Amino acid sequence: MPLDPLTDEQREIRDLIRELARERIAPRAHDIDNSAEFPWDVVELYRENDIFGMLYDEEYGGIGASALMTLVAIEEVSKVCATSGLIIAAQELGSLGIKLAGTDEQKERFLPRLASGEWLAAYALTEPGSGSDSAAMRSTARRDRDAYVVNGGKRFITNAGVAHVYIVFAKTDPTEGHSGISAFVVEADTPGFGVGRIEPKMGIKGSTTGEVFFDDCRIPANNLLGEEGEGFKVAMQILDRSRPGIGAQGLGLAQGATDYALEYAKSRETMGKPIAEHQLIGGMLADMETKCEAARGLLYRCGQMIDDGVDGSELTKISAMAKLYCTDVAMEVTTDAVQILGGYGYIQEYPVERMMRDAKITQIYEGTNQIQRLVIARQMLKEQRAFLLAGVS
Ligand SMILES: Cc1cc2nc3c(=O)[nH]c(=O)nc-3n(C[C@H](O)[C@H](O)[C@H](O)COP(=O)(O)OP(=O)(O)OC[C@H]3O[C@@H](n4cnc5c(N)ncnc54)[C@H](O)[C@@H]3O)c2cc1C
């Protein structure tokens, strides 16, 4: 009896993606990490197999898969290659602004080429002086007749240099905090847009992370998403729906590392028996598997809630919980997998070394896990609960 809530049809799709990941992506994972080059061949594989199409409705050329199935796809791919899992998650992150706040005209203009994978997308919120504190951003967008003139720069942008479409947040009213921020679509071929340094980094090495800058970058006024001043709201609505994708990446890493450590522990012998039969190792494996299953329960519940149309503070809370728990599990479990492999776990030839490095970022991006805890606690404080403690009123 499977523990997951998937229907037979969803399980069939999952199995197809699992096969694609094992046969076509797993053999590339080591080289993608080693070369730190963006894997365009994986993008091509996604294009051929309509993987990007899962993220978009049929009317825009997609296949309209559910949010739950998108999470399952990211999980399956991340079991073997977290960089390749991130390509799906980043495409969703960079498209959600248009899907949630775009006009019909904007959707028709941008979504079909994102659905086919001809264009990749990026989400550009972070700046050198503003990560967790996005209201401190300095990039500006000044209205000038039928255009906005954007100036400033963004840092640590996933897909910098490979994306065609960037969802950019800038202040239309620099005297205001959150309420001065607006959201825009910026195409990479717009004069005044440029890509700066691409960062060398600890993990997810095949994914580009870089600076983008705007130097009197003039974008059409009809590239504004929503109303002026609504950018922060749009940014947060996007994160409510994209954070579970990072949870799925974390869960994939954790399950991939557990599966590898289990196989290793069955074949590696010390003191006359497989290490899996030493109770301390068996106990670690049991904890790893249990954490993965608990994380999956929370993540899939979150996916189902998105599909059921749950919105607002309820979604904010469950999505932060799914991101927080799955990614903390990713770090714990991949670290344990390295421990189970002993010295071999520390050697690059074995994938758990890469998985542990890849796992770390999942606790940091799309809001650090400290920020997720703040978000969850803030929602808890707003909730009305029946008090169980005598004397508390
Ligand atoms: C590989 C990579 C890819 C990324 N991709 C993108 C992307 O595509 N788009 C994008 O916009 N950004 C992206 N980022 C940026 C990422 O989201 C930020 O780095 C992250 O949100 C943290 O911001 P910061 O680095 O400025 O850290 P800071 O905000 O300076 O935080 C530093 C530390 O202080 C803690 N902290 C901060 N405020 C509080 C608080 N109030 N309470 C408790 N602790 C707090 C943080 O948790 C952290 O531990 C990416 C980053 C990396 C490394």
The pLDDT tens digits of the residues spanning 254-286 come to 999 999 999 999 999 999 999 999 999 999 999
The ligand 1 site (C-beta within 6 Å) comprises 123-126, 131-132, 156-158, 201, 209, 361, 364-368, 370-371, 374
| Residue 291 CB contacts under 8 Å (≥ 6 apart), including other chains | 254, 329, 332, 333
Nearest Cα neighbor of 296 from 79, 84, 94 is 79
Residue 132 CA: which ligand 1 atom is closest? Answer: 29
Instruction: Report the range of poorest mean pLDDT among 11-15, 43-47, 327-331, 383-387.
Output: 383-387
Q: Which one-letter DSSP state was computed for residue 22? A: I
Write down the pLDDT at residue 3.
Answer: 73
Contact 256, 311 (CB under 8 A): no
Which residues does the annotation mark as catalytic?
Answer: 366
CA atoms within 13 A on the CB side of 102: 20
Would you give the distance in Å from CA 319 to the centre of its chain?
Answer: 12
Q: Above 90 in pLDDT, residue 384? A: no
Q: How confident is the model at residue 21 (pLDDT cuts 50, 70, 90)?
A: very high
Residue 370 CA: which ligand 1 atom is closest? Answer: 47
Q: Above 60 in pLDDT, residue 237? A: yes
Q: Above 80 in pLDDT, residue 86? A: yes
Q: Which one-letter DSSP state was computed for residue 130? A: B
Q: Above 80 in pLDDT, residue 1? A: no
Q: Mean pLDDT for the chain?
A: 97
Q: What is the pLDDT of residues 109-133, one digit of tens each?
A: 999 999 999 999 999 999 999 999 9
The residue contributing the CA closest to ligand 1 atom 22 is 131
* Paired strand residues for 98: none
Helix axes 279-307, 231-267, angle to 10 degrees: 150
Q: Above 80 in pLDDT, residue 389? A: no
How far does the centroid of ligand 1 lie from the alpha carbon of residue 43, in Å? Answer: 27
Write down the pLDDT at residue 392.
Answer: 61
- Cα–Cα distance measured from residue 204 to residue 81, given in angstroms and rounded to the nearest whole number: 9
Phi-psi region of 281 (alpha: psi -120 to 50; beta: other; left: phi over 0): alpha
Q: Above 60 in pLDDT, residue 393? A: no
Write down the pLDDT at residue 4.
Answer: 80
Strands 147-158 and 140-144 turn out to be antiparallel
The residue contributing the CA closest to ligand 1 atom 17 is 365
Q: What is the mean pLDDT of residues 222-240?
A: 98
Q: Could you tell which of 133, 360, 361, 365 is best to mutate to test the pocket of ligand 1, judged by most ligand atoms within 8 Å of the CB?
A: 365
Q: Could you tell which of 88, 166, 364 is best to mutate to test the pocket of ligand 1, judged by most ligand atoms within 8 Å of the CB?
A: 364
Q: pTM higher than 0.95, yes or no?
A: yes
How far does the centroid of ligand 1 lie from the alpha carbon of residue 313, in Å? Answer: 22
